[in-house]
Structure 1
Amino acid sequence: MTDLFSKFDPLIEQRRALLETGLTDPFNLVMEKVLSPTVAICNGRETILLGTYNYMGMTFDEDVIAAGKQAFDDFGAGTTGSRVLNGTFHPHRDVEAALREFYDMDHAMVFSTGYQANLGIISTIAGKGDYIILDIDSHASIYDGCKMGDAEIVAFRHNDVGALEKRLKRLPAEAGKLVVLEGVYSMLGDVAPLREMVRISKEHGAMVLVDEAHSMGFIGANGRGVAEEQGCIDDVDFIIGTFSKSVGTVGGFCVSNHPKFEILRLVCRPYVFTAALPPSVMASSATSVRKLMHGSNKRAHLWENSKTLHKGLRDLGFQLGTDEPQSAIIAVIMPDLERGAMMWEALLKEGLYVNLARPPATPAGMTLLRCSLCAEHTNEQVQDILDRFERAGKAVGII
């Protein structure tokens, strides 16, 4: 009889070999207590958090927490139903209103996760006979949305404007086309040339969806993301985002100005057939989104942190994913998985948590230590982080 788990044997063996060396499992860390957006207790010791995507540090904001507590009292612990049945409470409508205000768009639709937002929107609007043209480094949720919708998938080389144009020229002019892009790519923290890509997409009759999960809140004059920063947000048909990054809660969303957008509430399966998020999470999210509208000082400090860390790591001799800081993500390239895991553990012992990212999630088979900065990291903490990287890097022989 065929063992359905046999396809995972290479990964099982790789994990076994890694753990047999005595290394801590880098994919099973437990945070015993979280003290702030930037500090937690891990393995019994105080640890600086540099791998949480908590970009704007909203998880411990007093107003955000208070709104969630009040909604807990007013609406209970959960919804026990889908948004199209009994799962729409006042906070769900309120957070959608906050998103419309934040993006200055006509429509907003909230999903239970950011993954489901991509899965739902992409699979619903592009189906059999349509074409989805996407960057080859797109997030797993984008690829899964493509598969679920049964559209033809056409991939192009990462951030290559010319490659996108060549793909579009080859497609039938009359066919339905959706170009899917990301503002910031989460592995290397690099930014897409959206202005040119959106222009070319529109010239070839394609609709455009941009995932701004890793740019919402701090890129752009109003924190609306890379499309705002590059001046092309009015030409983007759909923006996907998540609450689990800058907003500091959980959930996903899509905003749009398309006049027929609201019909998606009846035809989008990951929206229709999923229980709605708890009202407490929605109330916290709405409060956070509205506070992010006035977060210019925090955005400025986050950029300062990113520039300081990027330069410091480069000066120490680490190989980084980008020549210059482009976002709050800084990827440190490791020689291989084994030494990447050793470096990750050495940092943890220094009291610093980062993400260990490995193939196939990473581009070009790279092993990365992915750092995501927070607006609540102090200047002193960033310098402390550099000191810990230096000690760990020398101990492992990376620098």
Structure 2
Amino acid sequence: MGLYDKYARLAGERLQFSDNGLTPFGTCIDEVYSATEGRIGNKKVILAGTNNYLGLTFNHDAIREGQAALAAQGTGTTGSRMANGSYAPHLALEKEIAEFFNRPTAIVFSTGYTANLGVISALADHNAVVLLDADSHASIYDACSLGGAEIIRFRHNDVNDLERRMVRLGERAKEAIIIVEGIYSMLGDVAPLAEIVDIKRRLGGYLIVDEAHSFGVLGATGRGLVEAVGVEDDVDIIVGTFSKSLASIGGFAVGSEAMEVLRYGSRPYIFTASPSPSCIATVRSSLRTISTQPELRQKLMDNANHLYDGLQKLGYELSSHISPVVPVIIGSKEEGLRIWRELISLGVYVNLILPPAAPAGITLLRCSVNAAHSREQIDAIIQAFATLKQ
């Protein structure tokens, strides 16, 4: 058996989907003009398939501060946070993140993926039992596997299933780790956090919430679903990323002072080079923008509602929850690929999500809006989908 033979079926499918047209796998965006427009091949497109929720990728303040950091501190740190990779701005950002979330401690990681990997794998070792939502992000699954924890999946957003599984654990439930997400990245729905917190209060355990897609989006100040639901005192650790609303790269975790010990036990923290100074500078700038421009969140949700309503009126099957992620559920992979390519020809780029990345074996056209989209651009997206109905 060859080294790569186990991927033969996947390679064949990739070739099939790449034949005679654009490929949805690693689509090349040849030029990016703004937070909302780019070019794929010779076609100018509206970018409706990014995670740039607040539209800050071209924010002038962030770019200026990033350029200044690049000139002053160089292109990279060349070391991990445990070695030479903790510059003064890294520590300043940790202080600012902790203050933003009203938590004693924040730890900055190199990506959102390594934030989950670093926190969860360090806590969920072979002695731990983890209850996680079946639709959890790959980084959460990988973290549990790396740590060696016993993994118990409960049905997506099914609090009754979670409670049944917690009850079966008996006394072990008091030390169990429950992991959920704020906004789930594929279907755009949110965790039933109030009910999950109620289970935790009655049966015990610890609660980790991944706010990757809800940080900067939900809550009165943008702290995410935990803030929006009003259960901040009941959540032990919040994990997030800088690559969505903050329009940069990196990840973080916030929690109690006791969380500081993870700096000495988290392998992804210890053995990964830290984010570059320019990335840290842009994150700090965008964090200030989140704090001072709440109108961005309102514009974002206005756009989300407008797109959702427009697609619903056209008869498309959508998720039950309105968020910046608006998935259109498609019948088959082949139909999804056809529509995806036609949308690009009509000037709209969205994500084609296939199983197993899409939950429950479905195919999705994952649309996502941001605060920089104009009403005219949202209307153009709706019109492109309307054209496909003709």
Q: TM-score when scaled to structure 2?
A: 0.97
1:247-283 deviation line (CA, Å, top 9, x unaligned): 0001111011x23111111110000000111111001
Instruction: Find 2:345's aligned residue among 309, 325, 349.
Output: 349
CA contact (8 A) 2:324 2:370 kept: yes
Whole-Å separation in 2 of the counterparts to 1:393 and 1:295: 38
Whole-Å separation in 1 of the counterparts to 2:217 and 2:291: 10
Match of 2:294 in 1: 296
Aligned positions of 1:21-32 closer than 5 A: 22-32=20-30
Match of 1:239 in 2: 238
**1:3 equivalenced with 2:19 (yes/no):** no
Instruction: Find 1:330's aligned residue among 326, 337, 342.
Output: 326
Aligned residues: 389
Instruction: Find 1:316's aligned residue among 314, 317, 322.
Output: 314
1:136-195 deviation line (CA, Å, top 9, x unaligned): 110000000000001100110110111111111111414631100001111100011101
Tell me whether 8-17 or 224-233 shows the greater mean CA deviation: 8-17
1:24-69 deviation line (CA, Å, top 9, x unaligned): 1111321222111001122122210001110001111111111111
Question: Cα RMSD between the aligned structures?
Answer: 1.2
Q: CA deviation at 1:23?
A: 2.9
Instruction: Note the residue ranges of structure 1 that are not aligned, 5 or more in a row.
Output: 395-399
Is the partner of 1:173 in helix, strand or coil? helix
What is the aligned-residue identity percentage? 45
Match of 2:359 in 1: 363
Q: CA deviation at 1:207?
A: 0.7
Match of 1:249 in 2: 248
CA contact (8 A) 1:350 1:392 kept: no
Whole-Å separation in 1 of the counterparts to 2:294 and 2:357: 32
1:116-153 deviation line (CA, Å, top 9, x unaligned): 11111000012112100000110000000000001100
Instruction: Note the residue ranges of structure 2 that are not aligned, 5 or more in a row.
Output: none
**1:15 equivalenced with 2:14 (yes/no):** yes
Whole-Å separation in 2 of the counterparts to 1:64 and 1:126: 36
Whole-Å separation in 1 of the counterparts to 2:267 and 2:238: 19
The letter of the residue matching 2:354 is R
Is the partner of 1:312 in helix, strand or coil? helix
Instruction: Find 2:89's aligned residue among 85, 88, 91.
Output: 91
Instruction: Find 2:266's aligned residue among 246, 268, 280.
Output: 268
CA contact (8 A) 1:129 1:176 kept: no
Match of 1:375 in 2: 371
Is the partner of 2:10 in helix, strand or coil? helix
Whole-Å separation in 2 of the counterparts to 1:354 and 1:5: 30
Match of 1:185 in 2: 184
Q: CA deviation at 1:393?
A: 4.2
Q: CA deviation at 1:392?
A: 3.2
1:227-250 deviation line (CA, Å, top 9, x unaligned): 111111221000010011000001
1:330-366 deviation line (CA, Å, top 9, x unaligned): 0001110011011000001111110000001111100
Tell me whether 86-95 or 338-347 shows the greater mean CA deviation: 86-95
Whole-Å separation in 1 of the counterparts to 2:154 and 2:185: 18
The letter of the residue matching 1:349 is S
Q: CA deviation at 1:105?
A: 1.1
Whole-Å separation in 2 of the counterparts to 1:311 and 1:207: 38
Whole-Å separation in 2 of the counterparts to 1:93 and 1:259: 15
Q: CA deviation at 1:11?
A: 1.4
Match of 1:144 in 2: 142
Match of 2:305 in 1: 307
Whole-Å separation in 1 of the counterparts to 2:14 and 2:151: 32
The letter of the residue matching 2:291 is M
CA contact (8 A) 1:243 1:249 kept: yes
- Measured at CA, do residues 19 and 33 of structure 1 come closer, stay the same or move farther in structure 2, by a change above 3 Å? closer
